[in-house]
Amino acid sequence: MLLHIPNILDRAQVARFRQALDQAGWTDGRETVGPQGAKVKRNLQLPDASPLREELGREILQALARHPLYHAATLPLRTLLPRFNRYEGGGQYGFHVDGAVMALPDGSQLRSDVSCTLFLAEPEEYDGGELIVSDTYGEHEVKLPAGDIIVYPSSSLHRVAPVTRGARIAAFFWVQSLIRDDTRRRLLLEMDTAIQTLTHSNADAQAVLQLTGVYHNLLRQWAES
């Protein structure tokens, strides 16, 4: 499921993020990937230990917690603290699949089910830099307004096209979902959306209650802790 969710951050938040990131110390993005990823990755990244990453990452997590569509789409169990990257001067990231298991600071591990990119630069600020996600329906190019997020299965083959003008700045992170399977997550999102629509249209209350029960029973049956 490839889903665009707008307005995770508002304009004031984006401006504040950009001011802080424009003054940050960036390092080689290959430091956080394995040998295969390092062969195709050419970008800059905020160091994992940076206090700025901690500060801005926590603010993003708080914003996501307030967004019902994001929660319904990802059903998060664990989330990696967002990282931040910058592509400029031809920087790109060739086709790759994200790592399946990632370490968390407390020593536990996260299975990457959902990949997320939160755009922090407006599309007109740079040329190139499209996130290109490949699936059974072909290749999908994504280049969103600042403050918007794209979520997609971590199993997807994807790349970032070369940036030939300006700078592409974004936050990125991974989610371990309560629902491992992407098809089941999609079905639950569609059902949740239908429930919300029926509720707001004053549909038969008993039917809405019954459908809500089906949603929660499916979630209960499929959820993993």
Every domain range in the chain assigned CATH 2.60.120.620: 3-177
Residue 43 confidence (pLDDT) above 90: yes
Looking at residue 225, its pLDDT comes to: 79
Mean pLDDT over the full length of the chain: 95
Distance CA 19, CA 164 (A): 22
How far is it, in rounded angstroms, from Cα 152 to Cα 142? 11
Give pTM, 2 decimals: 0.94
Express as a percent the part of the chain with pLDDT over 90.
89
| Average pLDDT estimate for 96-118 | 95
Residues of the chain with CATH 4.10.860.20: 182-222
CATH of 3-177, one of 2.120.10.30, 3.30.1490.20, 2.60.120.620, 1.10.10.10: 2.60.120.620
- CA separation, residue 25 to residues 32, 54, 84, 118 (Å): 16, 14, 11, 20
Q: Domain 182-222: give its CATH code.
A: 4.10.860.20
Q: pLDDT digit string (tens) for 131-154?
A: 999 988 899 999 999 999 999 999
Q: Can you list the alpha helix ranges (DSSP code H) found in the chain?
A: 11-22, 35-38, 51-65, 68-74, 182-200, 205-222
Sign of the torsion angle spanned by Cα atoms 10, 11, 12, 15 = positive
Beta-carbon neighbour count of residue 191 at 10 Å? 17
CA–CA distance, 88 with 206 (Å, rounded to integer): 55
